[in-house]
Amino acid sequence: MQKSTGVFLVEDDEDDQYFFVSALKTMNDIFLLDVANNGKEALEKLRRAPVLPEIIFVDYNMPIMNGLDFLREKSRDLRIQHIPVVMLSSSEEMREKAFQLGASAFIQKPSDDTTLRNEVAQVVNSRAIERF
């Protein structure tokens, strides 16, 4: 029996949140634990969470605290620093910087539901994301 994977989404755009959550609902063994609208809110929620996610998906471009700043701050918190982060961005230009700051994977935001489902499933099932 395969273990279910809890994910945490950090995304400020409501349409992108809906798109991501809709894709997750069609996937077996992957479920959404929580959503935050920016990196600062995500850190606050994760620090208080009784159950931590196995993977965090974080958008690069957000107000208050963007995805790269989130990666920097997360790496300083012993409770959550081990959780793999997948950077989401509409721009391929952020890929290298995301990996330099500790992202485990990078997904360029697709424009269709099927591609998103496939990319999320591939990341979740890949060896790049180590389960703890």
pLDDT one-digit tens code per residue, 78-118: 999 999 999 998 888 888 889 999 999 898 887 777 787 77
Query: Residue 24: what pLDDT?
Result: 80
pLDDT digits (tens, 9 = 90+) for 11-22: 999 988 888 888
Domain-embedded: residue 130: no
C-beta separation of 60 from 88 below 8 A: yes
58 domain residue, yes or no:
no
- 85 forms beta bridges with 56
pLDDT at 34: 93
What's the pLDDT tens digit per position in 36-77? 999 999 999 999 999 999 999 999 999 999 999 999 999 999
Does a structural domain hold residue 78?
yes
Residue 46: its pLDDT value, please? 97
Domain total in the chain: 1
Ordered alpha helix ranges (H), 75-129: 95-100, 113-125
Contact between residue 64 and residue 41 where contact means Cβ atoms under 8 Å apart: yes
Judged against a pLDDT cut of 50, whether residue 1 lies above it is answered with no
Task: Please check whether residue 96 lies inside any domain of the structure.
Answer: no
Q: Show the tokens assigned to 105.
A: 């994977």
Q: What confidence score (pLDDT) does residue 112 get?
A: 75
- Residue 15 domain-assigned (yes or no): yes
Buried b vs exposed e over 24-41: b needs ≥16 C-beta within 10 Å?
A: beeeeebebbbbbbbbbb
CATH number at residue 32: 3.40.50.2300
For residue 46, the enclosing domain spans: 5-53+67-87+104-125
Q: Is 121 helix (H, G, I), strand (E, B) or coil?
A: helix
Mean pLDDT score, 23-40: 86
pTM of the predicted model as reported, rounded to 2 decimal places: 0.88
pLDDT higher than 50, residue 132:
no
